[in-house]
Amino acid sequence: MYTFLINLVDRRLAVIVPPQEVVSVLRQLNPWWSDSRVSDLPPWRRAAFNELERWLLDPPAHRAVFISGARQVGKTTLLLQSAHALLDSGVPPQNILYATLDHPLLKLTGIDGVIKLWQEYFPPQPGPEFLLLDEIQFARDWQTWLKLQVDFHKNRRFAVTGSATQLAEEGQESGVGRWHTIRLASLSFYEYIQIRRVPIPALPDVSVLRELFQWTPAQFSRAAGAGQFLVPHFYEYLLRGGFPQCAQVASVEQAQKLLREDIVDKVLKRDMTALFGVRRVLELEQTFLYLCLHDGALLDVVDLCKNLEIKKPTVLNFLALLEATHLIHRLPPFGYGKQILRARWKVYLADPSIAPSVLLRGKSMLENSDLVSRAVESAIFKHLVTRYYPANVQVSYWRGRRDLEVDFVTDVDGHLAPFEVKFSAGHTAPSDFQGLLSLCAEKKLPRAYLVTKELTDFGVEPLKGSPETRLLRLPAVLACWWLGSSELKSVKRLQSGV
Protein backbone atom coordinates (compact mmCIF):
# COMPACT_ATOMS: atom_id res chain seq x y z
CA MET A 1 0.00 0.00 0.00
CA TYR A 2 2.83 2.40 0.94
CA THR A 3 4.64 1.73 -2.36
CA PHE A 4 1.40 2.33 -4.24
CA LEU A 5 0.93 5.73 -2.55
CA ILE A 6 4.54 6.75 -3.30
CA ASN A 7 4.11 5.82 -6.96
CA LEU A 8 0.83 7.72 -7.08
CA VAL A 9 2.48 10.85 -5.64
CA ASP A 10 5.37 10.50 -8.11
CA ARG A 11 2.93 10.34 -11.06
CA ARG A 12 1.02 13.40 -9.86
CA LEU A 13 4.23 15.37 -9.36
CA ALA A 14 5.40 14.42 -12.83
CA VAL A 15 2.28 16.06 -14.22
CA ILE A 16 2.70 19.21 -12.10
CA VAL A 17 6.51 19.43 -12.33
CA PRO A 18 8.09 17.79 -15.39
CA PRO A 19 11.18 15.84 -14.25
CA GLN A 20 13.30 17.47 -16.95
CA GLU A 21 12.75 20.90 -15.40
CA VAL A 22 13.77 19.69 -11.95
CA VAL A 23 16.83 17.98 -13.40
CA SER A 24 17.74 21.23 -15.16
CA VAL A 25 17.62 23.06 -11.82
CA LEU A 26 19.76 20.39 -10.17
CA ARG A 27 22.33 20.66 -12.98
CA GLN A 28 22.63 24.39 -12.32
CA LEU A 29 22.95 23.89 -8.57
CA ASN A 30 25.53 21.09 -8.98
CA PRO A 31 27.93 22.25 -11.74
CA TRP A 32 30.49 19.61 -10.68
CA TRP A 33 28.30 16.96 -12.34
CA SER A 34 29.43 18.57 -15.61
CA ASP A 35 33.12 18.88 -14.63
CA SER A 36 32.72 22.51 -13.53
CA ARG A 37 32.78 24.42 -10.24
CA VAL A 38 30.93 27.30 -8.55
CA SER A 39 32.90 30.25 -9.84
CA ASP A 40 32.12 33.06 -7.38
CA LEU A 41 32.96 31.45 -4.02
CA PRO A 42 35.24 33.53 -1.76
CA PRO A 43 38.76 32.11 -1.31
CA TRP A 44 38.77 32.63 2.47
CA ARG A 45 37.03 30.19 4.79
CA ARG A 46 35.40 30.77 8.13
CA ALA A 47 36.30 28.91 11.30
CA ALA A 48 33.05 26.92 11.07
CA PHE A 49 34.26 25.43 7.79
CA ASN A 50 36.85 23.30 9.57
CA GLU A 51 34.22 21.83 11.89
CA LEU A 52 31.85 21.07 9.01
CA GLU A 53 34.60 19.50 6.88
CA ARG A 54 35.58 17.21 9.74
CA TRP A 55 31.99 16.02 10.21
CA LEU A 56 31.66 15.29 6.49
CA LEU A 57 35.01 13.65 5.77
CA ASP A 58 35.70 11.90 9.06
CA PRO A 59 32.57 12.17 11.24
CA PRO A 60 33.09 11.49 14.96
CA ALA A 61 29.65 9.85 14.95
CA HIS A 62 27.01 8.91 12.40
CA ARG A 63 25.02 12.12 12.62
CA ALA A 64 23.73 14.81 10.32
CA VAL A 65 25.08 18.34 10.69
CA PHE A 66 22.56 21.13 11.25
CA ILE A 67 23.97 24.60 10.43
CA SER A 68 21.87 27.30 12.08
CA GLY A 69 22.32 31.02 11.55
CA ALA A 70 20.64 34.28 10.63
CA ARG A 71 19.66 35.27 7.12
CA GLN A 72 22.56 36.15 4.81
CA VAL A 73 25.17 35.07 7.34
CA GLY A 74 26.93 32.71 4.90
CA LYS A 75 25.32 29.29 5.35
CA THR A 76 24.99 28.62 1.61
CA THR A 77 28.60 29.65 0.97
CA LEU A 78 29.69 27.26 3.71
CA LEU A 79 27.84 24.36 2.06
CA LEU A 80 29.26 25.10 -1.40
CA GLN A 81 32.79 25.46 -0.04
CA SER A 82 32.39 22.09 1.65
CA ALA A 83 31.27 20.60 -1.70
CA HIS A 84 34.50 21.86 -3.30
CA ALA A 85 36.52 20.44 -0.40
CA LEU A 86 34.86 17.06 -0.90
CA LEU A 87 35.73 17.15 -4.61
CA ASP A 88 39.33 18.08 -3.81
CA SER A 89 39.53 15.12 -1.43
CA GLY A 90 38.61 12.72 -4.24
CA VAL A 91 34.87 12.25 -3.72
CA PRO A 92 33.20 11.44 -7.10
CA PRO A 93 31.20 14.48 -8.33
CA GLN A 94 27.96 12.55 -8.71
CA ASN A 95 28.17 11.48 -5.05
CA ILE A 96 27.54 15.09 -3.94
CA LEU A 97 24.05 16.60 -4.05
CA TYR A 98 23.43 20.24 -3.24
CA ALA A 99 19.81 21.44 -3.21
CA THR A 100 18.20 24.59 -1.86
CA LEU A 101 14.71 23.69 -0.74
CA ASP A 102 13.32 27.20 -1.01
CA HIS A 103 13.51 26.89 -4.81
CA PRO A 104 9.87 26.71 -6.01
CA LEU A 105 10.33 23.58 -8.17
CA LEU A 106 12.36 21.71 -5.56
CA LYS A 107 9.93 22.71 -2.83
CA LEU A 108 7.06 21.30 -4.87
CA THR A 109 8.98 18.14 -5.78
CA GLY A 110 9.99 17.42 -2.17
CA ILE A 111 13.23 15.99 -0.81
CA ASP A 112 12.46 12.40 -1.74
CA GLY A 113 11.56 13.42 -5.27
CA VAL A 114 14.79 15.39 -5.63
CA ILE A 115 16.87 12.46 -4.37
CA LYS A 116 15.08 10.05 -6.70
CA LEU A 117 15.83 12.23 -9.75
CA TRP A 118 19.44 12.67 -8.64
CA GLN A 119 20.00 8.94 -8.39
CA GLU A 120 18.14 8.24 -11.62
CA TYR A 121 19.88 10.83 -13.81
CA PHE A 122 23.26 11.07 -12.01
CA PRO A 123 23.70 7.71 -10.23
CA PRO A 124 26.34 7.89 -7.49
CA GLN A 125 29.36 5.61 -7.48
CA PRO A 126 30.03 3.16 -4.62
CA GLY A 127 31.02 4.95 -1.44
CA PRO A 128 29.57 7.63 0.84
CA GLU A 129 26.91 9.94 -0.58
CA PHE A 130 26.90 13.57 0.56
CA LEU A 131 23.61 15.47 0.72
CA LEU A 132 23.97 19.25 1.29
CA LEU A 133 20.44 20.60 1.80
CA ASP A 134 19.89 24.35 2.11
CA GLU A 135 16.89 25.86 3.96
CA ILE A 136 15.64 22.53 5.26
CA GLN A 137 12.73 24.24 7.04
CA PHE A 138 10.83 24.40 3.75
CA ALA A 139 10.60 20.61 3.63
CA ARG A 140 7.53 19.05 5.22
CA ASP A 141 8.21 17.08 8.44
CA TRP A 142 11.94 17.51 7.88
CA GLN A 143 12.89 16.38 11.42
CA THR A 144 11.25 12.97 11.02
CA TRP A 145 12.63 12.62 7.49
CA LEU A 146 16.18 13.40 8.60
CA LYS A 147 15.92 11.04 11.57
CA LEU A 148 14.89 8.16 9.30
CA GLN A 149 17.63 8.97 6.81
CA VAL A 150 20.30 8.93 9.52
CA ASP A 151 18.92 5.70 10.98
CA PHE A 152 18.52 3.70 7.76
CA HIS A 153 21.01 5.15 5.24
CA LYS A 154 24.43 4.61 6.77
CA ASN A 155 26.18 5.46 3.51
CA ARG A 156 24.75 8.98 3.45
CA ARG A 157 26.21 12.03 5.17
CA PHE A 158 24.03 15.09 5.61
CA ALA A 159 24.68 18.79 6.13
CA VAL A 160 21.50 20.88 6.32
CA THR A 161 20.92 24.57 7.01
CA GLY A 162 18.10 26.54 8.60
CA SER A 163 17.53 30.15 9.60
CA ALA A 164 16.18 29.48 13.09
CA THR A 165 17.56 27.59 16.08
CA GLN A 166 14.00 26.74 17.06
CA LEU A 167 13.78 24.55 13.96
CA ALA A 168 16.27 22.17 15.50
CA GLU A 169 14.69 22.40 18.94
CA GLU A 170 11.24 21.56 17.58
CA GLY A 171 12.59 18.21 16.46
CA GLN A 172 14.67 17.69 19.57
CA GLU A 173 12.89 14.50 20.66
CA SER A 174 13.35 12.76 17.31
CA GLY A 175 16.72 14.40 16.69
CA VAL A 176 18.55 13.32 19.84
CA GLY A 177 21.72 11.59 18.68
CA ARG A 178 20.83 12.20 15.03
CA TRP A 179 22.36 15.60 14.33
CA HIS A 180 25.12 17.88 15.48
CA THR A 181 24.43 21.63 15.46
CA ILE A 182 26.87 24.29 14.23
CA ARG A 183 25.75 27.85 14.95
CA LEU A 184 27.07 30.30 12.38
CA ALA A 185 27.29 33.85 13.71
CA SER A 186 27.91 37.01 11.72
CA LEU A 187 31.50 37.73 10.71
CA SER A 188 34.05 38.36 13.41
CA PHE A 189 36.24 41.45 13.03
CA TYR A 190 39.08 39.21 11.81
CA GLU A 191 36.83 37.64 9.16
CA TYR A 192 35.54 41.09 8.20
CA ILE A 193 39.11 42.24 7.51
CA GLN A 194 39.60 39.19 5.30
CA ILE A 195 36.42 39.66 3.29
CA ARG A 196 37.25 43.35 2.80
CA ARG A 197 40.70 42.26 1.51
CA VAL A 198 42.47 44.57 3.89
CA PRO A 199 46.19 43.79 4.36
CA ILE A 200 46.71 41.71 7.49
CA PRO A 201 48.80 43.61 10.07
CA ALA A 202 51.90 42.09 11.60
CA LEU A 203 50.26 41.12 14.87
CA PRO A 204 51.40 38.06 16.82
CA ASP A 205 49.08 35.05 17.03
CA VAL A 206 47.24 34.67 20.33
CA SER A 207 45.45 31.35 20.85
CA VAL A 208 43.78 32.29 24.14
CA LEU A 209 43.72 35.70 25.80
CA ARG A 210 45.38 34.43 28.98
CA GLU A 211 48.65 34.18 27.00
CA LEU A 212 48.84 37.97 27.15
CA PHE A 213 49.45 37.86 30.91
CA GLN A 214 52.96 36.54 30.11
CA TRP A 215 53.87 39.38 27.75
CA THR A 216 56.59 41.95 28.39
CA PRO A 217 56.03 45.73 28.12
CA ALA A 218 57.98 45.69 24.84
CA GLN A 219 55.56 43.13 23.38
CA PHE A 220 52.57 45.25 24.38
CA SER A 221 54.17 48.29 22.79
CA ARG A 222 54.90 46.53 19.48
CA ALA A 223 51.37 45.06 19.25
CA ALA A 224 49.83 48.48 19.97
CA GLY A 225 51.85 50.00 17.14
CA ALA A 226 50.86 47.27 14.68
CA GLY A 227 47.21 47.44 15.76
CA GLN A 228 46.90 51.15 15.00
CA PHE A 229 46.31 50.27 11.35
CA LEU A 230 43.11 48.41 12.33
CA VAL A 231 41.39 51.24 14.23
CA PRO A 232 39.52 52.94 11.34
CA HIS A 233 38.48 49.53 9.99
CA PHE A 234 37.13 48.64 13.43
CA TYR A 235 34.87 51.69 13.49
CA GLU A 236 33.64 50.86 10.00
CA TYR A 237 33.01 47.29 11.15
CA LEU A 238 30.71 48.63 13.86
CA LEU A 239 28.72 50.44 11.16
CA ARG A 240 28.76 47.84 8.37
CA GLY A 241 28.46 44.77 10.54
CA GLY A 242 29.33 41.15 10.07
CA PHE A 243 26.97 40.07 7.29
CA PRO A 244 29.09 39.14 4.24
CA GLN A 245 27.00 40.99 1.64
CA CYS A 246 26.87 44.14 3.77
CA ALA A 247 30.62 43.99 4.35
CA GLN A 248 31.37 44.01 0.63
CA VAL A 249 29.14 46.77 -0.74
CA ALA A 250 30.64 50.10 -1.75
CA SER A 251 29.49 52.39 1.07
CA VAL A 252 28.38 52.28 4.69
CA GLU A 253 25.00 53.76 3.68
CA GLN A 254 24.42 50.95 1.18
CA ALA A 255 25.51 48.34 3.72
CA GLN A 256 23.08 49.62 6.33
CA LYS A 257 20.25 49.84 3.81
CA LEU A 258 20.88 46.24 2.74
CA LEU A 259 20.96 45.07 6.33
CA ARG A 260 17.77 46.91 7.18
CA GLU A 261 15.76 45.85 4.12
CA ASP A 262 17.12 42.50 3.02
CA ILE A 263 17.91 40.92 6.36
CA VAL A 264 15.99 42.43 9.25
CA ASP A 265 12.79 43.31 7.41
CA LYS A 266 12.55 39.90 5.74
CA VAL A 267 13.00 38.13 9.06
CA LEU A 268 10.38 40.24 10.79
CA LYS A 269 7.84 40.41 7.97
CA ARG A 270 8.30 37.14 6.10
CA ASP A 271 10.09 34.49 8.12
CA MET A 272 8.16 35.14 11.32
CA THR A 273 4.90 34.65 9.43
CA ALA A 274 6.00 31.74 7.24
CA LEU A 275 7.89 29.76 9.89
CA PHE A 276 6.15 30.64 13.14
CA GLY A 277 2.73 31.95 12.10
CA VAL A 278 3.19 35.39 13.66
CA ARG A 279 0.20 37.57 12.80
CA ARG A 280 0.85 40.64 14.94
CA VAL A 281 3.81 41.80 12.87
CA LEU A 282 3.46 45.48 13.80
CA GLU A 283 3.76 44.68 17.51
CA LEU A 284 6.76 42.45 16.75
CA GLU A 285 8.43 45.33 14.88
CA GLN A 286 7.75 47.71 17.77
CA THR A 287 9.28 45.24 20.21
CA PHE A 288 12.37 44.88 18.05
CA LEU A 289 12.75 48.67 17.73
CA TYR A 290 12.54 48.94 21.51
CA LEU A 291 15.40 46.43 21.80
CA CYS A 292 17.43 48.40 19.24
CA LEU A 293 17.05 51.49 21.42
CA HIS A 294 18.14 49.54 24.52
CA ASP A 295 20.90 47.34 23.07
CA GLY A 296 22.95 45.83 25.89
CA ALA A 297 20.70 47.19 28.62
CA LEU A 298 18.85 45.36 31.37
CA LEU A 299 15.49 44.34 29.96
CA ASP A 300 12.51 45.64 31.92
CA VAL A 301 9.66 43.58 30.47
CA VAL A 302 7.07 45.43 32.54
CA ASP A 303 8.27 48.78 31.18
CA LEU A 304 8.34 47.41 27.64
CA CYS A 305 4.76 46.12 27.93
CA LYS A 306 3.56 49.40 29.41
CA ASN A 307 5.18 51.62 26.79
CA LEU A 308 4.13 49.50 23.81
CA GLU A 309 0.79 48.41 25.29
CA ILE A 310 1.53 44.75 24.58
CA LYS A 311 0.69 41.91 26.94
CA LYS A 312 3.54 40.17 28.73
CA PRO A 313 3.00 36.65 27.25
CA THR A 314 3.11 38.18 23.76
CA VAL A 315 6.35 40.01 24.52
CA LEU A 316 7.96 36.89 25.96
CA ASN A 317 6.95 34.95 22.86
CA PHE A 318 8.42 37.68 20.62
CA LEU A 319 11.72 37.57 22.55
CA ALA A 320 11.93 33.80 22.13
CA LEU A 321 11.28 34.08 18.38
CA LEU A 322 13.80 36.89 17.88
CA GLU A 323 16.41 34.80 19.66
CA ALA A 324 15.49 31.70 17.63
CA THR A 325 16.01 33.63 14.39
CA HIS A 326 19.40 34.89 15.62
CA LEU A 327 18.53 38.59 15.83
CA ILE A 328 19.11 38.89 19.59
CA HIS A 329 20.92 37.15 22.43
CA ARG A 330 19.68 37.08 26.00
CA LEU A 331 22.37 37.30 28.69
CA PRO A 332 21.47 35.84 32.10
CA PRO A 333 22.69 37.20 35.45
CA PHE A 334 25.54 35.43 37.19
CA GLY A 335 24.55 33.25 40.10
CA TYR A 336 22.52 30.27 41.13
CA GLY A 337 19.07 29.54 42.53
CA LYS A 338 17.50 32.49 44.34
CA GLN A 339 20.25 34.81 43.09
CA ILE A 340 18.80 34.84 39.59
CA LEU A 341 15.12 33.96 40.03
CA ARG A 342 14.01 37.59 40.16
CA ALA A 343 16.96 39.15 38.35
CA ARG A 344 16.54 40.73 34.94
CA TRP A 345 18.31 39.57 31.80
CA LYS A 346 20.28 41.72 29.40
CA VAL A 347 19.48 41.70 25.70
CA TYR A 348 22.13 42.19 23.01
CA LEU A 349 21.52 42.43 19.29
CA ALA A 350 23.25 39.72 17.29
CA ASP A 351 25.52 42.22 15.54
CA PRO A 352 26.64 45.73 16.55
CA SER A 353 25.54 47.16 13.19
CA ILE A 354 21.86 46.22 13.56
CA ALA A 355 20.83 49.11 15.83
CA PRO A 356 22.41 51.94 13.75
CA SER A 357 21.03 50.38 10.56
CA VAL A 358 17.48 49.94 11.82
CA LEU A 359 17.39 53.34 13.52
CA LEU A 360 18.84 55.12 10.43
CA ARG A 361 21.77 56.57 12.35
CA GLY A 362 24.34 56.15 9.59
CA LYS A 363 27.85 57.44 10.26
CA SER A 364 26.49 59.94 12.77
CA MET A 365 26.65 57.17 15.36
CA LEU A 366 30.42 57.69 15.56
CA GLU A 367 29.81 61.23 16.84
CA ASN A 368 27.98 59.91 19.90
CA SER A 369 30.42 58.36 22.37
CA ASP A 370 27.64 56.60 24.29
CA LEU A 371 26.31 54.88 21.14
CA VAL A 372 29.82 53.84 20.10
CA SER A 373 30.51 52.44 23.56
CA ARG A 374 27.31 50.38 23.42
CA ALA A 375 28.21 49.07 19.95
CA VAL A 376 31.68 48.05 21.18
CA GLU A 377 30.16 46.27 24.17
CA SER A 378 27.81 44.40 21.81
CA ALA A 379 30.77 43.47 19.59
CA ILE A 380 32.79 42.14 22.53
CA PHE A 381 29.83 40.06 23.68
CA LYS A 382 29.33 38.58 20.22
CA HIS A 383 33.01 37.70 19.92
CA LEU A 384 33.10 36.05 23.34
CA VAL A 385 29.99 33.95 22.69
CA THR A 386 31.08 32.96 19.17
CA ARG A 387 34.65 32.17 20.16
CA TYR A 388 33.84 29.93 23.10
CA TYR A 389 30.41 28.39 22.49
CA PRO A 390 31.73 24.99 21.24
CA ALA A 391 33.33 24.48 24.66
CA ASN A 392 30.02 25.20 26.42
CA VAL A 393 31.45 28.24 28.16
CA GLN A 394 28.74 29.97 30.18
CA VAL A 395 28.57 33.76 29.74
CA SER A 396 26.61 35.96 32.13
CA TYR A 397 26.73 39.42 33.70
CA TRP A 398 27.37 40.17 37.38
CA ARG A 399 25.49 42.62 39.54
CA GLY A 400 26.46 43.21 43.16
CA ARG A 401 25.67 45.55 45.99
CA ARG A 402 25.19 49.27 45.36
CA ASP A 403 24.32 48.37 41.74
CA LEU A 404 27.95 47.58 40.95
CA GLU A 405 28.14 45.62 37.71
CA VAL A 406 30.51 43.65 35.49
CA ASP A 407 29.58 43.40 31.83
CA PHE A 408 30.52 39.75 31.21
CA VAL A 409 31.65 36.78 33.27
CA THR A 410 32.80 33.62 31.49
CA ASP A 411 32.63 30.33 33.36
CA VAL A 412 34.75 27.37 32.23
CA ASP A 413 34.14 24.48 34.64
CA GLY A 414 34.03 26.88 37.58
CA HIS A 415 36.99 29.01 36.44
CA LEU A 416 35.65 32.55 36.20
CA ALA A 417 37.01 35.34 34.00
CA PRO A 418 35.35 38.78 34.21
CA PHE A 419 35.31 41.30 31.32
CA GLU A 420 34.47 44.96 31.77
CA VAL A 421 34.14 47.24 28.71
CA LYS A 422 35.15 50.90 29.23
CA PHE A 423 35.43 52.51 25.82
CA SER A 424 36.46 56.02 26.89
CA ALA A 425 39.36 58.27 25.93
CA GLY A 426 42.55 58.20 27.93
CA HIS A 427 43.72 55.86 30.67
CA THR A 428 40.80 54.16 32.42
CA ALA A 429 40.94 54.89 36.16
CA PRO A 430 39.99 52.35 38.89
CA SER A 431 37.01 54.52 39.80
CA ASP A 432 35.53 53.60 36.40
CA PHE A 433 35.46 49.85 37.07
CA GLN A 434 34.43 49.48 40.71
CA GLY A 435 32.26 46.49 39.83
CA LEU A 436 35.29 44.61 38.50
CA LEU A 437 37.21 45.41 41.68
CA SER A 438 34.34 44.21 43.86
CA LEU A 439 33.79 40.93 42.00
CA CYS A 440 37.50 40.03 41.92
CA ALA A 441 37.88 40.74 45.63
CA GLU A 442 34.76 38.72 46.48
CA LYS A 443 35.67 35.69 44.33
CA LYS A 444 39.47 35.99 44.64
CA LEU A 445 39.88 35.66 40.89
CA PRO A 446 43.40 35.26 39.43
CA ARG A 447 42.73 37.22 36.21
CA ALA A 448 40.44 40.00 35.01
CA TYR A 449 40.01 41.81 31.67
CA LEU A 450 39.37 45.51 31.14
CA VAL A 451 38.47 46.25 27.51
CA THR A 452 39.67 49.77 26.69
CA LYS A 453 39.57 52.26 23.85
CA GLU A 454 43.13 53.53 23.50
CA LEU A 455 45.89 51.29 22.16
CA THR A 456 48.18 52.90 24.73
CA ASP A 457 45.85 51.67 27.50
CA PHE A 458 47.29 48.17 27.13
CA GLY A 459 49.20 45.99 29.58
CA VAL A 460 49.11 43.89 32.75
CA GLU A 461 49.05 45.24 36.30
CA PRO A 462 48.01 44.09 39.78
CA LEU A 463 44.42 44.93 40.62
CA LYS A 464 44.11 47.43 43.44
CA GLY A 465 42.22 46.01 46.41
CA SER A 466 42.50 42.43 45.15
CA PRO A 467 46.12 41.23 45.53
CA GLU A 468 45.30 37.80 44.05
CA THR A 469 44.16 39.36 40.76
CA ARG A 470 46.15 40.54 37.76
CA LEU A 471 44.35 42.92 35.42
CA LEU A 472 44.83 42.90 31.65
CA ARG A 473 44.01 46.20 29.97
CA LEU A 474 43.10 45.15 26.41
CA PRO A 475 42.11 47.57 23.61
CA ALA A 476 38.77 46.60 22.05
CA VAL A 477 40.15 46.49 18.50
CA LEU A 478 42.78 43.91 19.53
CA ALA A 479 40.34 41.96 21.70
CA CYS A 480 38.00 41.46 18.73
CA TRP A 481 40.92 40.73 16.43
CA TRP A 482 42.37 37.97 18.58
CA LEU A 483 39.02 36.49 19.59
CA GLY A 484 38.14 36.27 15.90
CA SER A 485 41.48 35.00 14.62
CA SER A 486 41.97 32.24 17.14
CA GLU A 487 40.24 28.92 16.52
CA LEU A 488 39.08 26.27 18.95
CA LYS A 489 41.37 23.30 18.51
CA SER A 490 39.76 21.36 21.33
CA VAL A 491 37.59 21.85 24.39
CA LYS A 492 40.51 20.61 26.47
CA ARG A 493 42.61 23.67 25.70
CA LEU A 494 39.96 25.97 27.15
CA GLN A 495 39.63 24.05 30.38
CA SER A 496 42.63 25.91 31.81
CA GLY A 497 40.74 29.20 31.50
CA VAL A 498 39.98 32.02 29.06
Same domain, 108 and 154: yes
Residues 317 and 440 in one domain: yes
Confidence (pLDDT) at 281? 87
Question: From CA 175, how far away is CA 189, in angstroms rounded?
Answer: 34
3-state secondary structure of 425: coil
DSSP 297-343: SBP-HHHHHHHHT--HHHHHHHHHHHHHTTSEEEEPBS--THHHHSP
pTM for the whole structure: 0.88
**What is the pLDDT tens value at each position of the chain, 498 positions in all?**
434 434 444 444 555 678 899 999 999 999 999 988 888 888 888 888 988 999 999 998 899 999 988 888 999 999 999 999 999 999 999 999 999 998 999 988 989 999 999 999 999 999 999 999 999 988 888 888 999 999 999 999 999 998 765 544 544 444 556 788 888 999 999 999 988 989 888 899 998 899 999 999 999 999 999 999 999 999 999 999 899 989 888 899 999 999 988 778 888 888 888 777 888 889 999 999 999 999 999 999 999 999 999 999 999 999 999 998 889 999 999 876 555 656 789 999 999 999 999 999 989 999 999 999 999 999 999 999 988 776 678 899 998 888 899 999 999 878 899 999 999 888 888 889 999 999 999 999 999 999 999 999 999 999 887 888 999 999 999 999 999 987 543 333 444 456
Residue 438 and residue 468 in contact, taking contact as beta carbons nearer than 8 Å: no
Q: Are residues 128 and 195 in the same domain?
A: no
Residues 388 and 469 grouped into a single domain: yes
| Cα–Cα nearest to 179, from 142, 227, 135, 129 | 142
DSSP string, 79-131: HHHHHHHHHHTT--GGGEEEEETTSHHHHHH-HHHHHHHHHHHSPPPSS-EEE
Are 110 and 205 contained in the same domain?
no
Q: Are residues 486 and 371 in the same domain?
A: yes
Angle between helices 476-485 and 369-388 (to 10 degrees): 20
Alpha-carbon gap, residue 183 to 69, rounded angstroms? 6
Contact 188, 486 (CB under 8 A): no
* Residue ending a domain, choose from 184, 219, 246: 184
| 3-class state of residue 185 by DSSP | coil
What's the confidence (pLDDT) of residue 112?
Answer: 92
Final residue of a domain: which of 184, 210, 245?
Answer: 184
Beta bridge partners of 159: 65, 132
353 in the same domain as 228: yes
Q: Where are the alpha helices (DSSP H) in 110-195?
A: 111-121, 142-152, 165-170, 172-175, 189-195
The total of other beta-carbon atoms located within 10 Å of residue 243's CB is 26
pLDDT, residue 216, reads 95
Query: Closest Cα to residue 247, out of 42, 478, 101, 441?
Result: 42
Count of domains observed in the chain: 2
| Structural domain containing residue 252 | 190-494
381 & 318 share domain: yes
Q: Are residues 224 and 153 in the same domain?
A: no
Task: Write the CATH number for 124.
Answer: 3.40.50.300
Check: CB of residue 156 under 8 Å from CB of residue 149.
yes
* pLDDT number for residue 426: 84
Using left for φ > 0, alpha for ψ between -120 and 50, and beta otherwise, residue 303 falls in: alpha
Rg of the chain (C-alpha set) = 24
Write down which residue in 154, 184, 214 finishes a domain: 184
Give the distance from CA 156 to its chain's centroid. Answer: 27
The pairs formed by 7-14 with CB atoms below 8 angstroms and a separation of 24 or more are 10/113, 10/116, 13/108, 13/109, 13/110, 13/113
